[in-house]
Amino acid sequence: MSHILIVEDEAAIADTLVYALQAEGFTTTWLQLAEAALALQASSPADLLILDVGLPDISGFEACKRLRRFSEVPVIFLTARDAEIDRVVGLEIGADDYVVKPFSPREVAARVKAILKRMAPRTVAPVEAVHGPFQLDAERVQIHYHGQLLALTRHEFRLLQTLLGQPERVFSREQLLDAVGVAADAGYERNIDSHIKSLRAKLRQVASGSEPIQTHRGLGYSLRLI
Ligand code: CA
């Protein structure tokens, strides 16, 4: 069950949010001041903050800036119509979403759910092994590179998994074929090159400046953890 911290100085608005969020199964804490919310978040963190921009002590924007020094918790801003709408500023200082008053509390609850759902894979997915910028999850047959899930074919996955197993080691094409699980005949040896080529293209899409897969002419390939 996720816990939501609501920071809003108007009781009537906070009440509707507490009601809507509890109806969706969330637990809630309501505070009227930003300073108190920052202190609470530092000591017993909530899973998401709903932060009013116009608070009596410091603005929600300022509170979010301070929050970001120690927490990556998702933040939804509540902004007043006309006066405080500053989507760009809000998103620049690290908010995940914003809602303009007057709003539908059910709509806010739906956005809370959507943000927490988006967060879930990052925090729940078991990380099997981290090799530099690569995260290998053998059970799910997934590899993340710089935090991004690579869309790999089965052969590409096996290739990258093998290279990751012994970084800097030079693997011959034959050894890589073995790892991929294909018979090593002449035709397939060149096939490794085409798998490597498409693998490189996929890695480049994530980090265009890096070339982690090294070619060793006449020998084969190795992987650097960059
Ligand atoms: Ca206010």
Residue 8 pLDDT > 60: yes
Total number of domains constituting the chain:
2
> In terms of domains, do 147 and 197 share one?
yes
Q: Dig out the tokens for 51 from the structure.
A: 């932060």
Q: How far is the CA of 98 from the centre of ligand 1 (A)?
A: 14
Any idea what the CATH number is for the domain that residue 53 is in?
A: 3.40.50.2300
Separation of CA 85 and ligand 1 centre (Å): 13
- Separation of CA 144 and ligand 1 centre (Å): 41
Span from the CA of 59 to the centroid of ligand 1 (angstroms): 9
In tens, the pLDDT along 32-81 reads: 999 999 999 999 999 999 999 999 999 998 999 999 888 889 999 998 86
Residue after which a domain boundary falls, among 90, 119, 148 = 119
In this structure, what token pair is assigned to residue 42?
């530092």
By CB neighbour count within 10 A (0-12 exposed, 13-18 middle, 19+ buried), where does 61 fall? buried
Q: Mark which of 81, 97, 119 sits at the end of a domain.
A: 119
Quick count: other Cβ atoms within 10 Å of Cβ 63?
26
What are the tokens at 39? Answer: 């202190």
Cα 104 from Cα 10, distance rounded (Å): 15
Split at pLDDT 50, 70, 90, the class of 187 is: low
The number of residues making up the chain comes to: 226
pTM: 0.55
- Helices 154-165 and 173-180: crossing angle in degrees, nearest 10, is 120
- For residue 18, the tally of other CB atoms under 10 A from its CB is 20
* Residue span of the structural domain in which 103 resides: 3-119
